[in-house]
Amino acid sequence: MFGSLAQGATTINNFLMSADCLATLECFRQMGIHGEMSNVQGPMSNDCKLIIYGKGLCGLKCPTKTLDVGNSGTTIRLMTGILAGQEFETKISGDSSIQKRPMGRVVRPLSDMGANIVGNRGPVTGNSEVYPPLTIYGRQLKGITYELPVASAQVKSAVLLAGLYAQGETRVIETIPSRDHTERMMQYFSIPDYQLPITSDFTGKEVAVPGDISSAAFFIVAALLAQKAELRLHNVGLNPTRTGILDVIRQMGGGFTVENERIICNEPRGEIIVKTQKEGLRGVKLAGEIIPNIIDEIPIIAVLATQAAGVTEIRGARELRVKESDRLATVTAELRKFGAKIEELEDGLIIHGPTRLHGAKIDSHGDHRIAMAMAIAGLVADGETIIENTACIETSFPGFEKLLHSLTI
């Protein structure tokens, strides 16, 4: 996104060839932004390079058809912020799952900035909700100071991106910190975050993307629960707003080490070394400020909790009900098939362990994180596990099955 809005070329090293990223790329192509890929050697390659030829903040053109974000909630919410300040009308939507994702949390602050956005049920009013497809009537925006009612990096990022096009200063206030990749990227591109708008175009840069710790989490847990394993994960992102999974594992008594920590392109990264440690894992209580930091990792944390002694209680995670699936419901339903002792709460989960799991026939519910978490549960379980509807894994982790197989043969 930043490369498309920059002036000139932005080179992205380690570009992830996932469905979400490719859908984002295609949205910008529909608006006149050209990209070139090189060194594409398959979905597991770390060498994919993408060059984006940006045309500046005002360089996007009106698309001729509805922009399709596929399954990417991040794309539709952040893109809505960008499109709100354009000089043209845009329609944006996604798959059936996206069309059930609430957009009011983004539309409300953007409307305060002067945006005109209409969902499939009309404009958002009061406490009403709005869902895709969205029609965004681009117009001049005004800066606002917005205090996030809940910790949400997507809402924060949408407002900051809209602020690039607003008259007057735009600020976002957080009481609970959320992921800060957008602010770090703005700083890297020399955009004064929280002091928007900017007065001139910013220029393209070279970016090296670290490995996603949310994806690494599946293999960290797999290594901890294996019969005998030692696993080293290279170039994993260690942004402090994302490393809650490591804090949780540490609280549960799991062992790992981190080496070669460094900062590249304003993002911390390093190597994570994990050794098998099924004994000594213990249940924990998770609530409050850590929840936004681990929101994507809760399905795999639930798998880990089935093998920990005592009770693991997760609270304040109601946000999981409006992901690709209702993850509180789907994690509960699928882990019970393995024989796990798990209870669904209104805003969380209670898991009793340790429990011996047995193979089961699992439904991913079209949710990539459910599919991958249940695959790791299948490694721990006795007997055969079959996971249906796994094409959704391409959303965030192409090559997951092949990589998992390479580590388990």
| Maximal C-alpha separation, the chain | 62
Q: Partners of 275 in the beta sheet? A: 230
What number is the average pLDDT over the span 368-378?
98
Amino acid present at 333 = A
**Token duo for residue 142:** 């005004």
**pLDDT given for residue 276 in this prediction:** 86
Task: Using the Cα atoms of residue 301, residue 305, residue 310 and residue 311 in order, give the sign of their dihedral.
Answer: positive
Q: Tell whether the model's pLDDT for residue 194 goes beyond 60.
A: no
**pLDDT given for residue 44 in this prediction:** 46
Q: Tell whether the model's pLDDT for residue 222 goes beyond 90.
A: yes
**pLDDT given for residue 41 in this prediction:** 58
All CATH 3.65.10.10 domain ranges in the chain, comma separated: 2-208, 213-408
What number is the average pLDDT over the span 196-221?
91
**pLDDT given for residue 399 in this prediction:** 93
Burial 166-202 (b: 16+ CB within 10 A, else e): beeebbbebeeebbbbbbbbbeebebebeebbbeebb
**pLDDT given for residue 120 in this prediction:** 85
Provide the total of helices (H) and of strands (E) in the chain, helices listed first: 13, 22
CA–CA dist 132, 117 (Å, integer)? 10
CA–CA dist 37, 230 (Å, integer)? 34
Q: Tell whether the model's pLDDT for residue 295 goes beyond 50.
A: yes
Angle (CA) 243-249-255 rounded to 5° is 110
**pLDDT given for residue 46 in this prediction:** 59
Residues 6+ apart with CB under 8 A from 145: 169, 170, 171, 172, 173
What number is the average pLDDT over the span 266-276?
96
| Residue 382 among the catalytic residues | no
Per-residue model confidence as pLDDT tens digits over 29-54? 999 999 999 876 554 455 799 999 99
Q: Tell whether the model's pLDDT for residue 70 goes beyond 80.
A: yes
Of the residues 68, 95, 193, 296, only one is catalytic, namely 296
- CATH number corresponding to 2-208: 3.65.10.10
Contact status, residue 224 vs residue 254, Cβ threshold 8 Å:
yes
In eight-state DSSP terms, residue 282 is B
What number is the average pLDDT over the span 116-130?
83
Q: Categorize the per-residue pLDDT at 228 as very low, low, confident or very high, splitting at 50, 70 and 90.
A: confident
Q: Strand (E) positions, 244-402?
A: 256-264, 267-275, 285-286, 310-314, 341-344, 349-353, 361-363, 386-388
* Residue 245 Ramachandran class (φ > 0 left, ψ -120 to 50 alpha, else beta): alpha
Q: Categorize the per-residue pLDDT at 104 as very low, low, confident or very high, splitting at 50, 70 and 90.
A: very high
**Token duo for residue 208:** 């090296």
CA–CA dist 293, 92 (Å, integer)? 28
What number is the average pLDDT over the span 57-69?
97
Average per-residue pLDDT for the chain: 94
What number is the average pLDDT over the span 305-313?
98
Contact status, residue 189 vs residue 205, Cβ threshold 8 Å:
yes
Q: Which CATH superfamily, name and number, covers 213-408?
A: Enolpyruvate transferase domain (3.65.10.10)
CA–CA dist 256, 230 (Å, integer)? 10
Residue with tokens 């399905």: 299
Give me the percent of the chain exceeding a pLDDT of 70: 96
Distances (CA, A) of 36 to 17, 31, 57: 13, 15, 20
**pLDDT given for residue 195 in this prediction:** 56
* pTM beyond 0.85, yes or no: yes
Q: Categorize the per-residue pLDDT at 128 as very low, low, confident or very high, splitting at 50, 70 and 90.
A: confident
Q: In the sheet that 34-38 helps form, which strands lie side by side, from edge to edge? A: 34-38, 49-55, 7-13, 206-208
